[in-house]
Amino acid sequence: METLCAELIAVGTELLLGSIANTDAQFLSRELAGLGISVERHTAVGDDPQRLREAVEAARARCSILITTGGLGPTFDDLTKQVVCRVFDRPLTLRPEVEETIEGIYRDILHRPMPESDRLQALLPEGAELFPNHAGTAPGFAFCSGGVHVLMLPGPPEECRSVWEHGAREYLRRLSPGVICSRDIMSFGMGESSVEFLLHEKMCRMVNPSLATYAKPSEVCLRATARANTAQEADALLDPVEAEVRAALGDLVYGVDVSGLTELCLQRLKARGLTLACAESCTGGLIAQRITALPGASAVFRGGVVSYWSSVKAGVLGVDPALLETHGAVSAPVAEAMAKGARAITGADLAVSVTGVAGPDSDERGNPVGRVFVALADETGGVYCRHLELGRRSRELIRDEAANHALDLLRRHLDGLPMELTVPELKKG
Ligand code: ATP
């Protein structure tokens, strides 16, 4: 099956000055990968007709899909349409339906007359297919010339997304016959660069299905995407890819097509009819927040205690003051006692706890930034603790990673896996 290849050209001097990041390219690349379209180049050019022309001419010779973002507005520096149409020798013609839509936005929403300059936005390449913009005035559009599909989208991210969702995606989907299916293989315990290192050769070799990594805070998603005539054929292509990823990453793979560890834990708890509680120090309620953000949390989540001060660890969770005195608040015995305490006071089947130093400074006992203990108290009265040295990362990342480790303990317990996190040896494959 032929693979379509795309190039993106972002237009805007702000991109070159570093005033804004090219988030449209990030969004579109991800979406295109999901459609099985390979993105071969990103270019950013300023509001300069000559350089834009050169970029468009070069891209036209290389790709079958050219997508531009930005420069569709009514101001003097919005010149993408004019330049692209000149390169593809396509006249611009006034589209009365677009003119009427823009006039309507001014009349009914903005309550002022439409500036004459806005009429420029109703000039579209002859024969172009329109993509409505529900977040602004300039619509997106596409045309095909000499075997190249040209899509032009507005720059503001919410407008780019709106136009994508209201026509551009469908336009591209029509170009690829059959179905496109993807599978998100979720892993925790190894950074994105290590996962890529392990799977590098497979990822480079694979075209259909393709395999790409997406990093989430302290998790890595591997997305396998297959193009085939039917969903069954696509599934048959994806099965061996999933098996290869599982073979390489072992039990670091925690699920497929789930949004994250929190959702997975919630599903598992529900399926087993178990309830959960938590006791959090340095994560300050992050675990409770994540769980309660998901619909259906009330069926399994009994509650949580944010026990920041030692007096709360002792007074509310019942942590023995002698333990706090001897080992300090950031220690394995205290993490274990916090988890047991949360379980005891809520009556939940399981409880997780977190205590650690999120930074920016080490604590009064000299525990370094990033030292964290997470624990799980289980339904048999047993308790397991994991000691982490997360290093000098940002406070936010340490808290996020700590919460994920606590959830990782939970899912390992629920799935009957070893509680230790064993990272595969870094060998290319
Ligand atoms: P407008 O109708 O608002 O003029 P436009 O399509 O002409 O839209 P630009 O004028 O090029 O878009 O950019 C408008 C704003 O959109 C920029 O100031 C910037 O904030 C945002 N923007 C443009 N391009 C990108 C991009 N590639 N990634 C993220 N944001 C972008």
The pLDDT value given to residue 212: 86
Could you tell me the distance, in angstroms and rounded to a whole number, from the CA of residue 117 to the centre of ligand 1? 17
* pLDDT tens-digit series, residues 391-428: 878 999 999 999 999 999 999 999 999 999 988 887 75
Which residue minimizes the CA distance to atom 11 of ligand 1?
70
Judge if pTM exceeds 0.85: no
pLDDT at 107 over 60: yes
Three-state DSSP state, 117: helix
pLDDT: is 2 or 412 the higher one?
412
Mean pLDDT computed over 124-138: 93
Q: Which atom of ligand 1 approaches the CA of 137 most closely?
A: 2
Asked if residues 356 and 395 have their Cβ atoms less than 8 Å apart, the reply is: no
Mean pLDDT computed over 91-111: 91
Residues with CB under 6 A from ligand 1: 10-12, 14-15, 20, 22-25, 69-73, 75, 78, 136, 138, 154-157
- Side-chain-facing half-sphere of 302: CA atoms under 13 Å: 19
* Rounded Cα gap, residues 212 and 218, in angstroms: 17
pLDDT: is 314 or 182 the higher one?
314
Asked if residues 368 and 357 have their Cβ atoms less than 8 Å apart, the reply is: yes
The pLDDT value given to residue 429: 56
What is the overall mean pLDDT for the chain? 93
- Which of 64-68, 189-193, 347-351 has the weakest average pLDDT? 189-193
Asked if residues 238 and 257 have their Cβ atoms less than 8 Å apart, the reply is: no
Pocket test for ligand 1, best of 11, 31, 47, 78 (most atoms within 8 A of CB): 78
Mean pLDDT computed over 286-307: 97
Q: Which residues contact residue 374 at a Cβ distance below 8 angstroms, ignoring those fewer than 6 apart? A: 335, 352, 353, 354, 385, 386, 388, 402, 405, 406, 409
Q: The tokens 């799977």 sit on which residue?
A: 199
* pLDDT tens-digit series, residues 271-283: 999 999 999 999 9
The pLDDT value given to residue 33: 81
Could you tell me the distance, in angstroms and rounded to a whole number, from the CA of residue 124 to the centre of ligand 1? 18
Which residue minimizes the CA distance to atom 8 of ligand 1?
73
Q: Which atom of ligand 1 approaches the CA of 153 most closely?
A: 6
Reported confidence tier of residue 155, pLDDT bands at 50, 70, 90: very high
pLDDT at 1 over 60: no
